[in-house]
Structure 1
Amino acid sequence: MMIKGLYEAHLPVSDLERSIEFYTGLGLELDHIVENRLAFLWIVKDESWLGLWKTDKVELEYHPSIRHIAFQVSLEGLKDSVNWLNNKGYKPREAFGFEPTEPFVMPHNDYAHAKIHFNDPDGNSLEFICKIDNHKKLTERMYLSKWEELNQ
């Protein structure tokens, strides 16, 4: 197969310096800035990065096809994500009807995705996500703690 993975994704931002501070606070590493209007930050060094474009077009209504990035994390990292985000001053948000008190799970046949959502300063939708097994073939969406209880 020709494609090996996703190398880059891009988001619009209104204040490049504020956004660089936000994303480096998430643990991304700034690589370079182009003409004070575009910043590239490594998500995984030498594997994938995020481009932040300074623009006045951030008022576009949110839609996941144009203003959404999901960062892959470990299950252990995800379990601590609400505390981790809150400690950094970032607020998890409601998604798919789940309050941001803990991650939730969306099942898909033999696997599921556990996730938590939050926004950047411009309202771009972000999430931490990890793929998990669904060996009991559960079909209902639920909080991660309930999922783990049912999958013991």
Structure 2
Amino acid sequence: MIRGLYETHIQVSDLKKSVEFYTQVLGLKFAHYDVNRPIAFLWIGDDKKAMLGLWEQKENLQKRHFAFSCDQDFILNSAEGFLSDRDLKPYNFLKNKSEKPMVFSWMPALAIYFDDRDGNQLEFISILEGESQPELGVITYQEWLELKK
């Protein structure tokens, strides 16, 4: 019945600047602006496969979290530079000052985090091959590789 997540919405303090951030900085594609309410819709990846809604909220902004599905190679070899080139600070789930991705062994998945201009927590994530090992918790990718040997 359910095949996936189609859209999610977040609050932003400045709709125009947020549309610029998500389209020009992260590469999402503008889809629609609703003139009757302060909201813009952006395509994530291929048109009409997934969507992000940006709601302008001037006060009492509620920060959210969501993840972009990415290739493992991008996360391991390009994400840090991609984010740094755009003045975005990557961090891992543990927030231990490391900019290296971590593995959620219960999935397993490789992930790195960063924040948008309003402090919404964004994530690049890639599901890894292999069996779930929840007892390992959150570990470095190097630790994951060592365990897979």
What's the TM-score, normalizing by structure 2? 0.85
Q: Are the counterparts in 2 of residues 42 and 50 from structure 1 also a CA contact under 8 Å?
A: yes
| Structure 1: segments with no counterpart, 5+ residues | none
Shift of 1:97: 4.1
Q: Give the equivalent residue in structure 1 for 2:33.
A: 33
Q: Are the counterparts in 1 of residues 14 and 58 from structure 2 also a CA contact under 8 Å?
A: no
The amino acid of 2:126's aligned partner reads: C
- Provide the secondary structure at the position in 2 that maps to 1:93: coil
User: Structure 1 140/75 Cα, relative in aligned 2: closer, same or farther at 3 Å?
Assistant: same
- 87-96 or 8-17: which moved more? 87-96
In the alignment, which of 76, 91, 95 is matched to residue 89 of structure 2?
91
* Equivalent pairs, count: 144
Q: Does 1:77 align with 2:78?
A: no
Q: Give the equivalent residue in structure 2 for 1:56.
A: 58
Q: Aligned-residue CA RMSD in angstroms?
A: 2.1
% same residue? 35
Q: Give the equivalent residue in structure 2 for 1:151.
A: 148
Larger helix percent: 2
Shift of 1:70: 0.7
2: distance between equivalents of 1:118 and 1:127?
Answer: 6
Q: Are the counterparts in 1 of residues 7 and 52 from structure 2 also a CA contact under 8 Å?
A: yes
Larger strand percent: 1
User: Structure 1 5/94 Cα, relative in aligned 2: closer, same or farther at 3 Å?
Assistant: closer
Q: Are the counterparts in 1 of residues 89 and 115 from structure 2 also a CA contact under 8 Å?
A: yes
Shift of 1:98: 3.9
The amino acid of 1:26's aligned partner reads: L
Shift of 1:56: 1.8
Q: Are the counterparts in 2 of residues 71 and 126 from structure 1 also a CA contact under 8 Å?
A: yes
Shift of 1:40: 0.5
What's the TM-score, normalizing by structure 1? 0.83
Shift of 1:57: 3.8
| Structure 2: segments with no counterpart, 5+ residues | none
